[in-house]
Amino acid sequence: MDEEAVVKFVETYLKKKGFKQAELAFHEEIQQQNNSNNAVNIHSDPDLSTLLHSLSQPEDSPARYQDEYSKLRTWAYSSLDLYKHELLRVLYPVFVHCYMDIVAKGHIQDARNFFNSFHEDHDTMHSRDLQKLEGVLSPYHLEEMEFAHTLRQSKVNIKICQYSEELMMQYLRKSKSTIILGIVNEHINFQVSPGQPISISDDPDAVTLIGSSQDAANQINKKEIHWGLLEDSLEERFEKTGVFLSDSEKTEGETKEGDMDENKKRSMDGGKQASIKKSKKDKAASATAKAVRLEANTVPAAPRVKPELPLPVMQAEVEQSILEDLRNRVQLSSATLPSVSFYTFINTHNSLNCSSISHDGSLVAGGFSDSSLKVWDMAKLGQQAGNSILQDENDAAPSEHVSGPNSGKRSYTLFQGHSGPVHSASFSPLGDFVLSSSADTTVRLWSTELNANLVCYKGHNYPVWDVQFSPMGHYFASASHDRTARIWSVDRIQPLRIMAGHLSDVDCVQWHANCNYIATGSSDKTVRLWDVQSGECVRIFIGHRSMILSLAMSPDGRYMASGDEDGTIMMWDLSSGRCISPLMGHHSCVWSLAFSRESSLLASGSADCTVKLWDVTTSTKPAKKEENKSGNTHRMRLLKTLPTKSTPVSTLRFSRRNLLFAAGALSKSQ
């Protein structure tokens, strides 16, 4: 019996019957071969002697885990640079499962020694997961801790080229790493691509947790969804009237020309030159605006769909207000970036948990750890404090302590009713209502006109992390620690739908533009899209390496953006469920995302005290053939980074006129 036959025999039994049975069967086979004429002298073959010595060690020996992982690590780091980055991807899931296997066998001190010896290799990419893993200190934790249980029940998807996989398996066979082979077979799924490695290491979905059934996720993503915009909407009616921004631009241009004529009459010499320069500048601006409109017109129009939920009737004066905003909307593009109005909270003493801005920027809300919700009216605040509200940063600063002629009066409206920290707030489209969610498991509806609590919604069993009004109002969605999202209407105290399926907390929720779908981001590192009418999951988006903290839907209904705890943003195509482009640039948690009104730009706000503007139009164009061949799918273009002095950005919102509002609490520790 040759060496290769022995190794294949061991591998087969490890896969099918487990270590104990494989060991017994192996010794029976050796005994039979020794009794035959073709028996091989085991002790004369050093490789077979090593294999037998390894198999003779106790199955639950922590030393075998330490030895096999250490050898795999040394081999991977000494590999050729061309393949090293792919081979190193295998180390993290192997490290995790080796540690948990040692804990499961009850060798707690040996598990701690193993963790301390090798965890530094993975701190850069997986620091938060390692902090959770370090808390797994007994077999009981493996069953009861959500994080550990998810890892044990799920597989890890690893992208690797065919040659790298062959190198890996060849090494494991030759080194007799039976424990590592078992972990690879049970917990790792290789996505093998033909040929050589494609890129170095910036692919965010190179290593992903895929859950217990990747086939089920693939089947879900084949479901048909109607991602288009609502038919007979105000935007559609506005477009059919043929009234565009160019009309207002023309009016402004005529006013400017009139002013220029007046200046010419007042000044004969210098005035002529200034007017000529101004005229050239106006013509250049007009040409840029035309180019922007042509670029927007090249994008095919979104299909129109019917609403699946009965929508509220909009009042006539509200329609007029929205139409007025549409007429005065500024067309944004990579050449025309938005103006930004930043509201800074000061004197919050680190108690601000969330913030929200109304659609027109006139109201700013903050949720606090003392269970209170506070709403600032920016118009009244400006009248009371004059210019003194511009205290820190270069932007308006809603504050609990405003100096001015009326500083003795409270500068905000205080809403009290929750019995736990307020984690989220959301204004209705008209700003007449605001929702708040709390650790007390409830959602409350407040009237900004009556300054009173109207309804308390009870249904979740654990803290509610997020709540969001639908684009049309009346309906809202909530996300909770109980792993569910729920759909509500303001006139009913019980939820209309319950969306269950995430493996961990649902941390954020966002409505689709047509109100027929909601998206949920979870600590299980996935985003799901749900049909509001049926309550079914119609898409699962896999690719993030940490918990999802923010979501945004493009106003044209085509795309979704998601931001995670590590600072990564991913752009998704809703129709196919595929990631279009990962956005790399932030160095900390991405707390807020917002699309411009024509879906040409994406704004992201982060704990790294920056707002970044991304070019969506360029990123979503089909890649050229040459780029596809080279494997270059990173087409996302960062247009501009707007740093604050020392304020993490917690909230972003584009108004209907495309003015970007942002808010955050001043952090003196920065």
What is the model's pLDDT at position 669?
Answer: 61
Q: How far apart (Å, rounded) are the C-alpha atoms in residues 102 and 658?
A: 56
**Beta strands at 452-458 and 442-447: parallel, antiparallel or unpaired:** antiparallel
Candidates 440, 402, 398; CA nearest to 423 is: 440
CA nearest neighbour of 167 among 155, 175, 179, 156: 175
For the residues 468-476, what does the mean pLDDT come to? Answer: 93
Question: How many other C-beta atoms lie within 10 A of the C-beta of residue 663?
Answer: 30
**120 domain residue, yes or no:** yes
Please identify which residue in the block is written with the tokens 């705890």. 565
Whether the pLDDT of residue 381 is over 80: the answer is: no
Contact 102, 69 (CB under 8 A): no
pLDDT above 50: residue 262: no
Same structural domain for residues 615 and 646? yes
8 Å CB contact between 581 and 631: no
Q: Please tell me whether residues 380 and 259 are part of one structural domain.
A: no
Q: What is the reported pLDDT for 319?
A: 82
Q: Of 28-42, 288-302, 319-333, 540-554, which has the strongest mean pLDDT?
A: 540-554
17-28 pLDDT, tens digit per residue, is 544 454 445 455
- Predicted confidence (pLDDT) at residue 414 exceeds the cutoff of 90: yes
Closest among 356, 337, 332 to 345, alpha carbons compared: 356
Tokens standing for 95?
Answer: 């490290």
The number of beta carbons lying within 10 Å of the beta carbon of residue 283 is 11
Residue 546 tokens read as 């940490």
Residue 274: the pLDDT is 45
Instruction: Name the domain boundary from 177, 212, 247.
Output: 212
**Do the domain assignments include residue 43?**
no
Q: How far apart are CA 548 and CA 567, in angstroms?
A: 10
What gap in Å lies between CA 251 and CA 245, rounded to an integer?
10
In whole angstroms, what is the distance from residue 200 CA to residue 81 CA? Answer: 10
Dump the DSSP string for 46-114. HHHHHHHHHHHS-TT-HHHHHHHHHHHHHHHHTS-HHHHHHHGGGHHHHHHHHHHHHHHTT-HHHHHHH
* Within-domain flag for 3: no
Whether 497 and 487 have beta carbons less than 8 Å apart is answered as yes
- Side-chain half-sphere CA neighbours of 241 within 13 A: 14
**495 falls within a domain:** yes
Query: Which residue among 246, 278, 301 closes a domain?
Result: 301
Q: Which of 545, 524, 419 is nearest to 150 (CA)?
A: 524
- 58 CB neighbour count, 10 Å cutoff: 9
Looking at the domain assignment, is residue 328 inside a domain?
A: no
Instruction: List alpha helices for 241-269, DSSP H.
Output: 245-266
Task: State residue 256's pLDDT score.
Answer: 44
Reported in sequence order, the residue ranges of 471-565 that DSSP labels E, i.e. its strands, are 475-480, 484-489, 497-500, 506-511, 517-522, 526-531, 537-542, 548-553, 559-564
Q: What is the pLDDT of residue 42?
A: 39
CATH number at residue 164: 1.25.40.500
In angstroms, the CA 210 to CA 481 distance is 21
Same domain, 500 and 595: yes
Q: What is the pLDDT of residue 418?
A: 96
* Cα 505 from Cα 484, distance rounded (Å): 8
Q: In what order do the strands lie in the sheet with 442-447?
A: 422-427, 433-438, 442-447, 452-458
Q: Which residue has the higher pLDDT, 419 or 234?
A: 419
Tell whether 207 and 261 lie within a shared domain: no
Same domain as 248, residue 195: no
Phi, psi dihedral angles at 170 (to 5 degrees)? -65, -40
List phi, psi (to 5°) of 638. Answer: -85, 120
Quote the DSSP letter at residue 646. S
**Domain tally, the chain:** 3
The residues that bridge with 530 in the sheet, in sequence order, are 518, 537
3-state helix, strand, coil in the chain (%, to 5): 35, 25, 35
Question: Do 259 and 356 fall within a single domain?
Answer: no
Q: Same domain for 500 and 538?
A: yes
Is residue 342 within 8 A of residue 393, CB to CB? The reply is: yes
Task: Mark whether 181 and 238 lie in a shared domain.
Answer: no
Mean pLDDT (the chain) is 77
What are 505's two structure tokens?
């907390």
269 lies in the same domain as 389: no
pLDDT for the residue 470: 93
Query: Cα separation of 246 and 196, whole Å?
Result: 52
**Residues 297 and 373 both lie in one domain:** no
Q: How many helices (H) and strands (E) does the chain have?
A: 19, 32
Are the C-beta atoms of residues 425 and 367 closer than 8 Å to each other? yes
Q: Does pLDDT of 31 surpass 60?
A: no
**Model pLDDT for residues 497-534, shown as the tens digit of each residue:** 999 988 889 999 999 999 999 999 999 889 999 999 99
Indicate whether 323 pLDDT > 90.
Answer: no
Residue 462 lies in a domain: yes
**166 and 70 both lie in a single domain:** yes
- Residue that has been written with the tokens 């700003």 in this structure: 431
The stretch 173-198 carries a mean pLDDT of 84
Angstrom distance (rounded) from CA 553 to CA 620: 14
Question: CA–CA distance from 32 to each of 24, 39, 50 (Å)?
Answer: 13, 8, 20
Of 100, 213, 221, 102, the residue nearest 157 (C-alpha): 213
The owner of tokens 């200034």 is 274
211 conformational bin, left if phi > 0, alpha if psi -120 to 50, beta if neither? left
Is 610 part of a structural domain of the chain?
Answer: yes
Helix (H, G, I), strand (E, B) or coil at 569: strand
In a domain, 36, yes or no: no
- According to the per-residue pLDDT averaged within each range, which of 17-31, 370-384, 562-576 is highest? 562-576
For residue 174, pLDDT over 70 is answered with: yes
Closest CA to 569 of 605, 518, 530, 618: 605
What mean pLDDT is predicted for residues 38-57? Answer: 46
| Average pLDDT over every residue of 54-71 | 75
Distance (Å) of CA 575 to CA 226, 371, 541: 8, 40, 12
Start-to-end CA distance of the chain, whole Å, equals 68
Residue 334: phi and psi, rounded to 5, are -65, -25
The number of CA neighbours under 13 Å toward the Cβ of 63 is 5
CB 587 within 8 A of CB 608: yes
CATH code of the domain covering residue 518: 2.130.10.10
Total-model pTM: 0.70
Query: How far apart, in Å, are the Cα atoms of 540 and each of 238, 324, 512, 525?
Result: 34, 38, 15, 11
Ranking 36-45, 196-205, 647-656 by mean pLDDT, the lowest is 36-45
Strand order in the sheet with 207-211: 188-193, 155-161, 207-211
Structural domain boundaries, residue 276: 229-301
Q: What is the Cα–Cα distance from 57 to 247, expressed in whole angstroms?
A: 83
Same domain, 248 and 279: yes
